[in-house]
Structure 1
Amino acid sequence: MNSNNQPIGIFDSGIGGTSIWSAIHQLLPNEKTIYLADSKNAPYGQKSKEEIVALSMKNTDFLLEMNCKLIVVACNTATTNAIQELRAKYNVPFIGIEPAIKPAVTHSKTQTIGILATQGTLNSELFNKTTEKYQDTKIIEQVGHGLVQLIENGDINSPEMIKLLRSYLTPMIEANIDYLVLGCSHYPYLIPQIKKILPEHIHIIDSGEAVAKQTQKILREKVGFSSAENSQPIFYTNTNAKVLTEILENKFTVEKKEF
């Protein structure tokens, strides 16, 4: 496979997909990445399938104009609702992100797992097809109402956030889950708060590492790796850049851009 110095495009309904970007950047530091935060339209989880498909195509068009060689849909809701349409329309590889149910089910001792996700993910046909495979495991689904908005506003450590998380997680603890699957790319930023609520024996799973490994696999098999070294990532948002800059620990420049 020849080298390919075109960038990897990554989009999410806001800042949450930076948890996926971070895993990709750690595994593939020489790849140039362009991250698109569609915060103006966050959260996607409360929108119709048609709206989610339209927004996902808008984001894809933007990234393809930037000459991206591969696109990572770093949003569970966009993946479960739109990735089939994206793959049908565009001639570029797409990598999606789904709740990591399989490893949780495989390793669960209590045969009871919890999933914290958006309404759009939990209601999607793709998610329901996935959960149907695991009839022997009790899967407790919880919509994370309000969590994405609080993260987007920079209120990760607010009393309101802790109150919401406690109300969502307590019934799962009482139901004897031993794995909690984070079904939204925003939610890994809540792991420190979640760990304060969950007993130590409950494992938390997110999808970042799996998506990074799949990205590496597609680069190796289909697209080609970059021959550059330590390329500087580019971040775009269509709202105030402050929260995205802060979540990136002020290490990178974020440009506000209408899209």
Structure 2
Amino acid sequence: MRIAFFDSGIGGITVMTEAMKQLPREDYIYYADNLHVPYGTKSKDEVKFYVKTAIDDIMQEEVKAVVIACNTATSIAVADLRNEYQVPIIGLEPAVKPAVEMNRASGKRVLVFATPLTLSQSKYTDLVTRVDDQHIVDSLPLTDLVGYCERLEIEEATQYLQEQLAIYDLANYGTIVLGCTHYPFYKNVIKQLVPDHIQIIDGSNGTVKKLKQELEKSGMLSVHGTCDVKYMCSSHDSATLAKLEKATQIYAEIDRVNLEDN
């Protein structure tokens, strides 16, 4: 049985890559709802319908857990999905809590990058209210980043990011939270645009740890898998499947460079 990762597009590949490092004896499904990407600019009801349709498709396969590798989809649909399906459904949330804890003593602020829809949801505002007792969290909607990523135009987003960051005095910030799974594709670009003292984090590590705990709890951890990935998409076309495989290779190199730099 495989672990399924779901996203509107290629962003969830960043989370699956972390899983492949922590759980190398598992096999995977990666499903992109490419017919409806991006989710971050759509209505809540639209996203709920798209996610439900995609998960129904995934459940036709033999899966033992599903990771909703999309912050927007998690905030809108994960509760309904857990009520409907028997397998563990692992959601994602921006890594605001660890970012606040990292900056609690330094006096530095936290800047959260996310899609407009994620930032508008009560799940996000409730999270910030719960953990940000010092009121050090600022939120930046980055509407265009998903589009650049889906076109695999990573370096081309540099000017857009420069323009979005221009209004901030980055000397006041200690951490940037990448609150959309597409955004880790830009880790190395962002590092070139911000002061060296700023740490850049995302929710992938915590999500995969939660996934591992759920599999251990149910005795479902595999020892026989080979990190094989079966790619699926809502359009069912070979060009998109090839693009997903290429994106996985591109992100693996981005992640490798980032790890070496750290």
Instruction: Indicate whether the TM-score tops 0.5.
Output: yes
Task: Give how far 1:83 is off.
Answer: 0.6
- Residue in 2 that maps onto 1:17: 12
- Residue in 2 that maps onto 1:52: 47
For 1:241-252, what aligned pairs fall within 5 Å after superposition? Answer: 241=240, 242-249=242-249
- Residue in 1 that maps onto 2:146: 148
- The residue identity in structure 1 corresponding to 2:120 is N
Task: Give how far 1:212 is off.
Answer: 1.2
Q: How large is the Cα RMSD of the aligned pairs?
A: 1.9
Residue 101 (1) aligns with residue 96 (2)? yes
State, as a whole percentage, how many aligned pairs show the same letter: 32
- The residue identity in structure 1 corresponding to 2:147 is Q
Distance 1:247 1:173 in 2: 33
Task: Give how far 1:13 is off.
Answer: 0.7
Q: Is the Cα–Cα contact under 8 Å of residues 11 and 75 in structure 1 kept in the other structure?
A: yes
- Residue in 1 that maps onto 2:204: 208
Cα distance per residue 1:118-137 (max 9 Å; x no partner):
01110111111101121313
Change (3 A) 1:249 1:23: same
Distance 2:143 2:216 in 1: 38
Q: TM-score, normalised by structure 1?
A: 0.89
Task: Give how far 1:236 is off.
Answer: 1.7
Residue 137 (1) aligns with residue 110 (2)? no
Task: Give how far 1:50 is off.
Answer: 1.0
Q: Structure 1: where are the runs of 5+ without partners?
A: 1-5, 252-259
- The residue identity in structure 2 corresponding to 1:30 is R
- Residue in 1 that maps onto 2:260: none
Q: Is the Cα–Cα contact under 8 Å of residues 105 and 111 in structure 1 kept in the other structure?
A: no
Task: Give how far 1:46 is off.
Answer: 0.8
Question: Which structure 1 residue ranges, 4+ long, deviate > 4 Å from structure 2?
Answer: none
Q: TM-score, normalised by structure 2?
A: 0.88
Cα distance per residue 1:83-135 (max 9 Å; x no partner):
11111222221101110000110011224110000011101111111011213
Cα distance per residue 1:173-208 (max 9 Å; x no partner):
447111100000000000111011000001101111
- The residue identity in structure 1 corresponding to 2:144 is G
Task: Give how far 1:222 is off.
Answer: 2.2
Residue 219 (1) aligns with residue 212 (2)? no
Q: Structure 2: where are the runs of 5+ without partners?
A: 252-262
Q: Is the Cα–Cα contact under 8 Å of residues 170 and 194 in structure 2 kept in the other structure?
A: no
